[in-house]
């Protein structure tokens, strides 16, 4: 599919298209040249969908919605998807309460919440559909240090308070010849429930060789650091705080002009690039689950020692009912997700995400097609 964006749209997407809130998205269809005949989106069903959740996927969702509006406009349909980036935990809560049509979450819905979703979905299970992949940057503000190298163990010690100054011997050993300042390290962490936090802590637990012992989950467990809300919030906090460091999706680090650490997974330092992150995604497997659910087994990514692989990658799921929607909602949801999984992926690299590999697209599309109404 051929996509052309004018400068205004690029600017709007780059700052997160702030007009896309619970009230919906501005109609950007006039700014995108898209070949709707190549899209499988039917543009059928109800015209307006609602969703909330992960702030990590907000910029990707802006892209998906703008492209979907353009596709359906050419097909004579007026559509919109109102996505509110309230955080993964809140998105799952709203989904269970039937307040939105689907949720965005950096962590799969599971356990008690999956049980509660059975009621929301008229007795059918909720499915986790990975639609957006984004590498998580260790973004820092340290004057004079442009290519900081960290590994999982030193990162764990920074975020559990064991390392408190930037010239700590453990950091210095990874950065030979670099003049590290004798200044305090200020970790910036998510204050809200966040799938980014969950994935970050899972990475530390898997890869830090026992240095991370406080557990995982959507709430930060390390016990140190200053809190900020949302991906935009932590990135902005680091931007204004010399000596600070955070974990945040690459797109937000890019927007704030932050330096990003190279990660040594045991096979040498690896720069965060689309290719190094894609290499990690290609090695991901799926957890045993019901047919149609695509919950990922990310332990093989976080613990990889493959050369040239950037291991700190998260997947953002769209949480949907496998069945139980009314016919109009099911049709609209399948149409939008089909567009997002296909032509919607084309511009994601420009937003700091990693487009879905073709094998993922095929499997994801099969699950989207299987979503059923009552």
Q: Check the annotation: does 55 bind a ligand.
A: yes
Residues 105-132, mean pLDDT to the nearest whole number: 95
Is pLDDT above 70 for 40? yes
On whether residue 292 sits in a domain, the answer given is: no
Residue range 45-54, pLDDT digits in tens: 999 999 999 9
Q: Check the annotation: does 194 bind a ligand.
A: yes
Taking CA 103 as the corner, what is the angle to CA 284 and CA 79, rounded to the nearest 5 degrees?
115
| Domain shared by 140 and 129, yes or no | no
pLDDT at 31: 61
Residues 212-228, mean pLDDT to the nearest whole number: 95
On whether residue 244 sits in a domain, the answer given is: yes
Residue 256: which of 17, 6, 16, 25 has the closest Cα?
16
| φ/ψ (deg, to 5) at 208 | -90, 10
On whether residue 312 sits in a domain, the answer given is: no
| Domain shared by 108 and 160, yes or no | no
pLDDT at 145: 97
| Domain shared by 183 and 266, yes or no | yes
| Domain shared by 14 and 125, yes or no | yes
| Domain shared by 277 and 141, yes or no | yes
Residues 110-131, mean pLDDT to the nearest whole number: 96
| φ/ψ (deg, to 5) at 172 | -60, -35
| Domain shared by 169 and 124, yes or no | no
Q: Is the dihedral of CA 218, 191, 21, 14 positive or negative?
A: negative
- The CATH number linked to 77 is 3.40.190.10
Residues 197-212, mean pLDDT to the nearest whole number: 95
| Domain shared by 127 and 146, yes or no | no
Separation between Cα atoms, residue 223 and residue 246, nearest integer Å:
14
Paired strand residues for 50: 82
161 contact partners, CB below 8 Å, separation of at least 6: 222, 223, 224
| Domain shared by 101 and 29, yes or no | yes
- Name the residue with tokens 């509660």: 116
Is pLDDT above 80 for 37? yes
pLDDT at 283: 74
| Domain shared by 267 and 145, yes or no | yes
pLDDT at 16: 35
| Domain shared by 141 and 120, yes or no | no
Residue-wise DSSP of 207-223? HSTT---S--SSS--S-
Residue-wise DSSP of 116-132? HHHHHTTTSPEEEEEEE
On whether residue 21 sits in a domain, the answer given is: yes
- Buried-exposed string 81-92: b where 16+ CB fall within 10 A, e elsewhere: bbbbbbbbbbbb
Is pLDDT above 50 for 30? no
| Domain shared by 95 and 164, yes or no | no
Is pLDDT above 60 for 34? yes
Measured torsion, CA atoms of residues 364, 365, 371, 372, in degrees rounded to the nearest 10: -160
Residues 164-182, mean pLDDT to the nearest whole number: 97
pLDDT at 169: 98
Residue after which a domain boundary falls, among 233, 259, 281: 281
Which of 7-16, 27-36, 270-279 has the lowest average pLDDT?
Answer: 7-16
On whether residue 125 sits in a domain, the answer given is: yes
Higher pLDDT, 278 or 205: 205
On whether residue 308 sits in a domain, the answer given is: no
Range of the domain at 43: 4-133+317-370
Separation between Cα atoms, residue 212 and residue 204, nearest integer Å:
6
Is pLDDT above 60 for 3? no
**Token digits for 300?**
């093989």
Q: Check the annotation: does 54 bind a ligand.
A: yes
Is pLDDT above 80 for 206? yes
Number of domains in the chain: 2
Residues shown for the chain: 374
Is pLDDT above 60 for 9? no
On whether residue 338 sits in a domain, the answer given is: yes
Residue after which a domain boundary falls, among 281, 306, 329: 281
| Domain shared by 249 and 346, yes or no | no
On whether residue 353 sits in a domain, the answer given is: yes
Residue 280: which of 314, 229, 246 has the closest Cα?
314
Q: Check the annotation: does 196 bind a ligand.
A: yes
């Amino acid at each position: 599919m051929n996509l052309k964006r004018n400068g205004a749209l690029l600017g709007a997407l780059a700052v997160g298209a702030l007009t896309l809130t619970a009230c919906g998205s501005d109609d950007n269809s006039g700014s995108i040249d898209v070949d709707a005949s190549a899209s499988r989106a039917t543009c059928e069903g109800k015209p307006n969908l609602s969703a909330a959740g992960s702030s990590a996927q907000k910029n990707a969702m802006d892209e998906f919605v703008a492209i979907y509006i353009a596709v359906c406009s050419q097909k004579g349909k007026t559509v919109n998807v109102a996505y509110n980036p309230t955080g993964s935990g809140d998105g799952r809560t709203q989904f269970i309460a039937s307040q939105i049509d689907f949720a965005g979450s950096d962590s799969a819905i599971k356990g008690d919440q999956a049980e509660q979703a059975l009621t929301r979905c008229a007795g059918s299970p909720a499915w986790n559909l990975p639609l957006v992949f984004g590498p998580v940057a260790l973004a820092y503000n340290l004057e004079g240090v442009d290519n900081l190298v960290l590994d999982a163990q030193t990162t764990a010690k920074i975020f559990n308070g064991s390392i408190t100054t930037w010239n700590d011997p453990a950091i210095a050993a990874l950065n030979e010849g670099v003049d590290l300042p004798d200044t305090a390290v200020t970790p910036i962490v998510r204050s809200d429930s966040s799938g980014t936090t969950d994935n970050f802590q899972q990475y530390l637990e898997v890869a830090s060789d026992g240095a991370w012992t406080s557990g995982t989950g959507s709430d930060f467990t390390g016990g140190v650091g200053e809190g900020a809300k949302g991906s935009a919030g932590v990135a902005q906090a680091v931007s204004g705080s010399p000596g600070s460091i955070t974990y945040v999706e690459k797109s937000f680090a890019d927007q704030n002009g932050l330096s990003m650490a190279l990660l040594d997974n045991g096979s040498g330092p690896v720069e965060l690039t689309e290719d190094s992150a894609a290499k990690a995604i290609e090695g991901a497997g799926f957890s045993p689950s019901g047919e149609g659910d695509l919950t990922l087994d990310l332990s093989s990514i976080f613990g990889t020692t493959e050369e040239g692989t950037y291991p700190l990658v998260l997947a953002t799921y769209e949480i949907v009912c496998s069945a139980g929607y009314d016919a109009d909602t099911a049709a609209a949801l399948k149409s939008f997700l089909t567009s997002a999984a296909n032509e919607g992926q084309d511009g994601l690299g420009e937003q700091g995400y990693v487009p879905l590999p073709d094998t993922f697209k095929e499997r994801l599309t099969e699950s989207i097609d299987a979503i059923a109404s009552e």
